[in-house]
Structure 1
Amino acid sequence: MSSQQLPLLEVPVTALAQAQRYPRLRYMGSKYRLLPTLAKVFEEVGGSTALDPFAGSGVVSYLLKAQGFEVTSRDYLNFPVTLTKAACVNQRQRLSKDEVRSIAEGGNLDGRDFISRTYRGRFFTPEDQLFLDSAWSRIDRLQGEKRDLAIAALVLAAARKQPRGVFTVTGLRYDDGRDSLHKPLNEHFVGCVQAWNDAVFEGQRCQSFRGEAVEATPSTDLVYLDPPYAPPNDDNDYLKRYWFLEGLSDYWEHGTASVMHDTLTRKLPKRPTAFGSKRTIEAALAALFERFSGSTIVLSYGSNAVPSVDTLMAMLRDVKGSAPEIIDLQHRYHFGTHRNAARREATEYVLIAP
């Protein structure tokens, strides 16, 4: 590898301290552990505007906001957009104790029961499912950032109650004895609201949109790319793992009719994306690099994915005219329970292409 190897770097304490307030969601490929490295990279790259078109858990968008960037976040799923609206777009709104108590304890305002009917006997207790229906009957009466905060807290509560935070199986197959797996969901919700309230701060103006990364407007100083990694022998289908959070984020507004009732988990159908297959991801990445060639590109990628890092460096060199700088560090992924899961121990690369 001919490009310069950069050492691990120290971090601006104030921005990192703020970023570490972001509520932690167990999410495939999440960059919580890479925040110190990314914070220093973003500081050295500089600029005033940033685009995060694969927002995911939202933590990198939040870090960029903490560092003073005007951030535009984007994701092809709805619930990550809601998270970034709650903590990045939102500058000062918080839910009051009375509003939280109303949602957690106030009862069902309109008799809705979609979750209780559709997912009876799946994932959560009848009491928890009644709470989710009831909570949404009240959240539906909120507007703006307070609505985003409440939905973000509901999503986080559901993720923390579900073993491993994924919805690929029912029951407690992965029950490791943690109290959080047995705490009532309304109690989870109250704690999650507090976490999101604590994360709110005023910074530069931010935006968040739902849509494919390639649809984002290429007009920012910095573009951070964290595309789904395409593993050679598995898939990177986020909807397969988090479809319940996706449905919960808008009360199945866009998916009620498409619930797959013939599946054990009553999941939502897969949404095809060019980043979801090793056969199409290289062309998809090439299109992204070309689209954002006028910005400094910072790319996160893993050694357990295709294309290889050497291929990525060559692609960036073709677009930018010079080889990118690269940082590499060991990183363990927390998903994968089958016999091949050892490949989740990987080298994480951060490529910087000015």
Structure 2
Amino acid sequence: MRAYPRIRFMGSKYRLAPRLAELFATLPPGAAIDAFSGSGVVAYTLKAGGREVLANDHLTFTSTLAEALVANEGERLSAEDVERICSPSRDGRDFIARTFDGLYFPREDHAFLDAAWSHVDELDGAKRALALSALCLAAAQKQPRGVFTVTTPRYDDGRRQLRMSLEQLFREAVARCNAAVIPGAARARCGDVFDLDEPAAIAYLDPPYAPPRDDTCYVKRYHFLEGLATYWRGQEIMWETRTRKLVKRPTPFGSKRTAPLALDRLFDHFRSAESLVVSYGSNAALPADELEALLRRHRRTVTRHEIAHRYAFGTHRTAERRVATEYVFVGR
């Protein structure tokens, strides 16, 4: 699991993956679903544990990560592939350079992304997913704190990645992605969780949850990566915004008012799974006891595991408030 490329992603379970692996090993054998796969590290953990896995997420860039690193059984980008992607543009496209001029990255980085995409457009399958994943990883590394809600360097923490070109970061990201590819049966899809209709021994559920303050809008924080994974095709840009945000995608899980009903529906939707494993943070607006009570409506037995955890993007003082307890409920 240490081989899995790390991305600074809100709610990522990268640090918790070893503990989750221990828990999954105690459950009956069989296929698993990671219904909100996010960074993909839990789906990868399930695959590394020998299970057939289906990774699902509603964002394109996270689903692309899962396609490249979870569903991919052996394809890698060759040195020739990398040199072609890093070569001058084959068609002179400049959408990124025009749209984001003066935002996020220097002009030469934007030009690199346009040129790279001109070659990625000629790839398909796992190689295309690997190339796009490496581009997204590189962009997330160079953007302070990995989020695209600000366009100023006020969160510059001095990391070496902030001084490197996106081409250099892309080359490094390709090496990490290639090294993470492992054999095993797995699939990845991009879609609504309630459209999933697959039998499974384990359904792992890590839904977005409403915190007491702020929100859980992934599109707001990672809109550039979502656009980069599609070259903004089919995306609706909010041109009036300074950051060139994409239109939000409302989720019933992200509101304190609608979350209980959405969670109740979610647990019912996966009633055929032998085990439900639900991750939830103590910094959610919905108390853990209420979530456990909802889960008990659908499962005969529910076991609660508590893991001390820090959701932090850095070592700055305000990161202290991100110290939390990760609750992992197992319903059978």
Question: What TM-score does the superposition give when structure 2 sets the normalisation length?
Answer: 0.97
Answering whether residue 155 of structure 2 is matched by residue 174 of structure 1, we say: yes
Identify the residue that residue 140 of structure 1 maps to in structure 2. Answer: 121
Query: Structure 1 74/66 Cα, relative in aligned 2: closer, same or farther at 3 Å?
Result: same
**Local SS of the residue matching 1:326:** strand
Tell me the CA shift for residue 264 of structure 1: 0.6
Tell me the CA shift for residue 339 of structure 1: 9.1
Match of 1:226 among 182, 199, 206: 206
Tell me the CA shift for residue 171 of structure 1: 2.3
Query: Structure 1 337/92 Cα, relative in aligned 2: closer, same or farther at 3 Å?
Result: closer
Query: Structure 1 103/336 Cα, relative in aligned 2: closer, same or farther at 3 Å?
Result: closer
Distance 1:143 1:161 in 2: 26
Answering whether residue 229 of structure 2 is matched by residue 249 of structure 1, we say: yes
Identify the residue that residue 292 of structure 2 maps to in structure 1. Answer: 313
Distance 1:341 1:177 in 2: 17
Distance 2:258 2:94 in 1: 40
Query: What per-residue deviation string (whole Å, max 9, x for no partner) do you get for residues 138-162 of structure 1?
Result: 0000111100100000000000011
Distance 1:147 1:281 in 2: 36
Q: How many residues align?
A: 331
Identify the residue that residue 111 of structure 2 maps to in structure 1. Answer: 130
Instruction: Read off the aligned partner of 2:19 and give its amino acid letter.
Output: T
Distance 1:283 1:116 in 2: 43
Query: Structure 1 142/286 Cα, relative in aligned 2: closer, same or farther at 3 Å?
Result: same
Match of 2:19 among 8, 15, 37: 37
Answering whether residue 306 of structure 2 is matched by residue 328 of structure 1, we say: yes
Distance 2:186 2:234 in 1: 25
Tell me the CA shift for residue 335 of structure 1: 4.7
Query: Structure 1 340/24 Cα, relative in aligned 2: closer, same or farther at 3 Å?
Result: closer
Identify the residue that residue 192 of structure 1 maps to in structure 2. Answer: 173
Query: What per-residue deviation string (whole Å, max 9, x for no partner) do you get for residues 277-309 of structure 1?
Result: 111111111001111122100011011103211
1:331-350 map, 5 Å? 331-335=309-313, 342-350=320-328
Tell me the CA shift for residue 217 of structure 1: 1.1
Query: What per-residue deviation string (whole Å, max 9, x for no partner) do you get for residues 223-243 of structure 1?
Result: 001111210122011111000
Question: What TM-score does the superposition give when structure 1 sets the normalisation length?
Answer: 0.91
Query: Structure 1 125/340 Cα, relative in aligned 2: closer, same or farther at 3 Å?
Result: closer
1:28-67 map, 5 Å? 28-67=10-49
Q: What stretches of structure 2 of length at least 5 have no aligned partner? A: none
Instruction: Read off the aligned partner of 1:209 and give its amino acid letter.
Output: R
Match of 1:94 among 71, 76, 79: 76
1:262-273 map, 5 Å? 262-273=240-251
Tell me the CA shift for residue 123 of structure 1: 0.2
Distance 1:122 1:249 in 2: 18
Distance 1:131 1:340 in 2: 34
Runs (4+) off by over 3 Å? 335-343
Tell me the CA shift for residue 342 of structure 1: 4.4
The range that moved more, 283-292 or 332-341, is 332-341
Q: Is the 8 A contact 1:58 1:83 kept in 2?
A: yes
Distance 1:89 1:288 in 2: 24
**Local SS of the residue matching 1:173:** helix
Q: Is the 8 A contact 1:336 1:344 kept in 2?
A: no
The range that moved more, 82-91 or 205-214, is 205-214
**Local SS of the residue matching 2:230:** coil
Distance 2:183 2:131 in 1: 19
Q: Is the 8 A contact 1:304 1:343 kept in 2?
A: no
Identify the residue that residue 5 of structure 1 maps to in structure 2. Answer: none
Q: Is the 8 A contact 1:335 1:344 kept in 2?
A: no
Q: What stretches of structure 1 of length at least 5 have no aligned partner? A: 1-18
Distance 1:281 1:338 in 2: 31
Distance 1:154 1:233 in 2: 32
